[in-house]
Amino acid sequence: MSYHPKILMVLDYAPDYREAFFRELGLKAKLTVVAQPCEAESLTAPRVRKNYEYIEIPSKHIGGIYWQPGLRALASKIGWDVICMGINLRHLARVITFLSIPSVWGKWVWRGHIFGKTESQLVNYFRGIILRRAAGCLTYSEVQAKEVLLRFGVNAVSFNNSEVRVSEFRQGVHAAKRDGLNLLFVGRYQTRKRLERLVNLASRRPDISLRFVGPNMDRIEVPQALEESGRVKKFGKTSGEALNKHFDWADLVANPGHVGLLVMNAARHQKGIVIDSESRHAPEYWLAKEAGQPFIDFSDCKSVDQFLNGVIADLTILKVWAVDLQNLAKSKYTIEYMVDTHLKVFNNIYES
C-alpha cells in the first residue's frame, strides 16, 4: 500500500469551483485545507466537502493587511510532510510563520500567483528571499514559472490552473450559418470585467445578441428596448449541466475586461473566446494565448467592428478557435494535471 503524504494547504479561499481539485488530491494525500470564509469575497462554498479536512479561519484585517490567528500553531504541529502555503504577502501570519520556524523550510512549498498587483524592488527582494529558502514553488501558469526562474533563480513548477476534469469536456454545438453572432459571458459581475462594453456593442449593432450568466448580473444596466427585444438576457448563478444550454446557444465567448477561469469554461464546452487585449488578466489567460484565441481592444469600436465583421463573413473560424482551445486544455489544463503536478512536487520533498 502506497504512502499518502500528510499535506497542510493554506489558501485565501476554498470555493465550490476548487472542490473537484481538493477531492481528487484528497484521494492521494491526507489533505487539510485552511482558508477564509468564502462569503468574505462573495464566493460560494461547496455544499459538501469530501476526501479532505477543512479548517476555516477568518482573518483580522487592517488597511489591506491580514492576520489569521492560530495559523502558526497549526503549521508547527508535528507530522506534516509538506506545508503548501499561498504566497500572499498581505497575509502576515503566513510570512511570519515561515520566517520564525526554519525547521519547516525543507518541507515548505509556496503556491499561487507569486507576483502581486504592485511591484517594488524592496518587495521583490523580500519575495526572492522567502522563495529561495523554501523547498518548492508552484505557480498558476507556465509564464509565471518562467518569470520566477528569471527573477529569482528558483525552479518553479506550473500546475496550469483549471477547474475541468478530463471527463467534463463536451462536443461543441457550432452553427453552420447565422445572421449575426451570439456572444456569451459567464462569471461573477465585477467592475474589472467591463461588461458594459458588451451592452454598448449590442446597442449599436443589431446583429449582436448577448447572454450574461452569473451572480449579480442584475447590476448590469441594459436599455429597456434591448431587453424587450430579447437580444440581451441576464441569468443568475448557473453551474454544472445547467450551463450547457447557454454555451450551446453561443457562437463565441466574449470577455471585454479581466479574464480568469472563463477560459477553462469555454474550453470545457468547446467554444472559442475573444479577450480584451488591454486588460490585466489572471494566469488562465495563458491557455488562450497558447491556443491562438483572438485578443482585441474592446475599448476601440473600430477594431471590435472589424473583428466581428470578419468573423460573421466566415463563421468557420469559430470552430477552429474552439477545437484548438479544447485540444490544448485537454492535454495539460485539467484537474488531473493539477493533482499530478502537485503530487510530483510534494513527493520530491517528503521522499528526499
CATH number for position 200: 3.40.50.2000
Cell of 273: 473566446
63 pLDDT more than 80: yes
Q: Are strands 208-213 and 232-235 parallel, antiparallel or unpaired?
A: parallel
Q: Is 84 exposed, middle or buried (0-12, 13-18, 19+ CB in 10 A)?
A: buried
Estimate the crossing angle of helix 335-350 against helix 19-26, to 10 degrees: 40
Q: What is the pLDDT of residues 119-134, one digit of tens each?
A: 788 899 999 999 999 9
Q: Is 289 within a domain? A: yes
Same domain, yes or no: 314 and 191: yes
For 149-209, give the DSSP string.
Answer: HHHH----EE-------GGG--PPP--S--SSEEEEEES---GGG-THHHHHHHHH-TTEE
Q: Are strands 181-186 and 208-213 parallel, antiparallel or unpaired?
A: parallel
From first CA to last CA, the distance across the chain in angstroms is 19
Domain coverage including residue 247: 166-331
pLDDT of residue 301: 95
168 pLDDT more than 80: yes
**Alpha-carbon span 74 to 25, nearest angstrom:** 20
Same domain, yes or no: 247 and 144: no
With cell 503530487, the residue in question is: 343
**Alpha-carbon span 34 to 341, nearest angstrom:** 20
User: 178 phi and psi, to 5 degrees?
Assistant: -160, 145
Mean pLDDT for the chain?
94
- pTM as predicted: 0.85
191: Cβ contacts below 8 Å, ≥ 6 apart: none
pLDDT of residue 352: 73
Q: What is the pLDDT of residues 26-56, one digit of tens each?
A: 999 999 999 999 998 889 999 999 999 999 9
Cell of 334: 485539467
CB atoms < 10 A from the CB of 132, how many?
Answer: 12
pLDDT of residue 167: 95
Q: Is 327 helix (H, G, I), strand (E, B) or coil?
A: helix
**What's the rounded mean pLDDT across residues 22-28?**
97
- Residue 1: pLDDT band with limits 50, 70, 90: low
Most confident of 1-5, 111-115, 304-308: 304-308
**What's the rounded mean pLDDT across residues 261-265?**
93
How many domains are contained in the chain?
2
Q: Is 108 within a domain? A: yes
- Residue 137: pLDDT band with limits 50, 70, 90: very high
**What's the rounded mean pLDDT across residues 229-251?**
93
Same domain, yes or no: 175 and 134: no
Same domain, yes or no: 190 and 278: yes
Same domain, yes or no: 310 and 242: yes
pLDDT of residue 351: 82
Q: Sign of the C-alpha dihedral, residues 213, 287, 271, 268?
A: negative
Rg, C-alpha atoms of the chain: 22
With cell 504577502, the residue in question is: 89
